[in-house]
């Protein structure tokens, strides 16, 4: 268990659709489970006790909308629990840069883990990718050894400063950089889930 960070590359028109109809976020996060979306909109597939006693059938579910993603969309980023260590280091390396971890706009008020999903449109992702393009894993590791990580999630891990913690940080940072470049290259935004 723990607080994990996931992000999905998504086109702006899909972000607009999610903002207009927040329950649709479940069609992005759990595309194979229509029941999650139906519960979110208040449809209960189970008939009421009265309906069961009187033999009445359950109401038919409403149509479940789908989101049709382009090939470049839906690339997933899974930073596991490294996200706050990376965020702390990036804030030290580029203090004026836009913040991928903190600048997102909520998609409604639907709980998708720890709070609502967040979104960043393509222009924001392009700025983020440009701001962090010159930072490599070596710089991240170097700053992790001198910045105060006491308030970062998994602070005990970051304080160890051993090969395992450095590999965890640098491997996840490489994934993050690849995700940034993918969204910038394809003009995509991102939807973030903290769970």
Examine the domain organization and report whether 14 and 41 are in the same domain. Answer: no
167-190 as b/e: b if 16+ CB within 10 A: ebbbebbebbbebbebbbebebbb
Domain ranges, residue 87: 5-23+72-194
pLDDT tens digit string along 45-80? Answer: 566 666 667 766 666 778 888 899 999 999 999 999
102-111 as b/e: b if 16+ CB within 10 A: eebeebbebe
80, β-bridge pairs: 5
pLDDT tens digit string along 74-97? Answer: 999 999 999 999 999 999 999 999
Examine the domain organization and report whether 52 and 105 are in the same domain. Answer: no
Q: Would you state the pLDDT for residue 61?
A: 74
Rounded mean pLDDT, 4-27 = 97
List CB contacts of 185: < 8 A, sequence separation 6 or more.
Answer: none
Q: Would you state the pLDDT for residue 19?
A: 97
Q: Would you state the pLDDT for residue 153?
A: 92
Examine the domain organization and report whether 103 and 167 are in the same domain. Answer: yes
CATH number, domain with residue 127? 3.40.1760.10
Strands 105-106 and 118-120 turn out to be: antiparallel
Rounded mean pLDDT, 130-136 = 95
Number of domains in the chain: 2
Examine the domain organization and report whether 18 and 60 are in the same domain. Answer: no
Examine the domain organization and report whether 54 and 100 are in the same domain. Answer: no
Examine the domain organization and report whether 51 and 133 are in the same domain. Answer: no
Examine the domain organization and report whether 156 and 184 are in the same domain. Answer: yes
Examine the domain organization and report whether 136 and 58 are in the same domain. Answer: no
Examine the domain organization and report whether 60 and 110 are in the same domain. Answer: no
Examine the domain organization and report whether 149 and 118 are in the same domain. Answer: yes
Examine the domain organization and report whether 89 and 178 are in the same domain. Answer: yes
Rounded mean pLDDT, 112-127 = 97
> With bands split at pLDDT 50, 70 and 90, how would you rate the model's confidence at 130?
very high
Q: Is 113 exposed, middle or buried (0-12, 13-18, 19+ CB in 10 A)?
A: middle
Is the model's pLDDT at 120 over the cut of 90?
A: yes
- Report percent pLDDT > 90 for the chain: 75
Examine the domain organization and report whether 59 and 142 are in the same domain. Answer: no
- Mean confidence (pLDDT) of the chain: 92
């Amino acid at each position: 268990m723990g607080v994990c960070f996931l992000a999905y590359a998504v086109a702006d028109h899909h972000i607009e659709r999610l903002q207009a109809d927040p329950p649709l976020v479940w069609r992005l996060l759990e595309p194979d489970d229509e029941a999650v979306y139906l519960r979110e909109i208040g449809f209960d597939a189970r008939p009421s006790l009265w309906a069961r006693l009187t033999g009445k059938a359950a109401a038919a579910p409403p149509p479940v909308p789908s989101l049709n993603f382009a090939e470049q969309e839906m690339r997933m980023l899974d930073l596991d629990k490294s996200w706050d260590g990376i965020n702390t280091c990036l804030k030290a390396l580029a203090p004026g840069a836009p913040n991928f971890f903190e600048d997102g706009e909520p998609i409604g008020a639907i709980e998708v883990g720890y709070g609502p999903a967040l979104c960043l449109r393509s222009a924001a992702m392009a700025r983020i990718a440009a701001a962090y393009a010159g930072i490599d894993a070596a710089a991240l590791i170097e700053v992790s050894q001198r910045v105060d990580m006491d308030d970062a999630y998994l602070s005990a891990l970051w304080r160890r400063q051993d090969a395992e913690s450095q590999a965890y940080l640098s491997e996840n940072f490489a994934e993050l950089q690849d995700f940034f470049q993918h969204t910038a290259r394809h003009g995509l935004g991102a939807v973030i889930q903290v769970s």
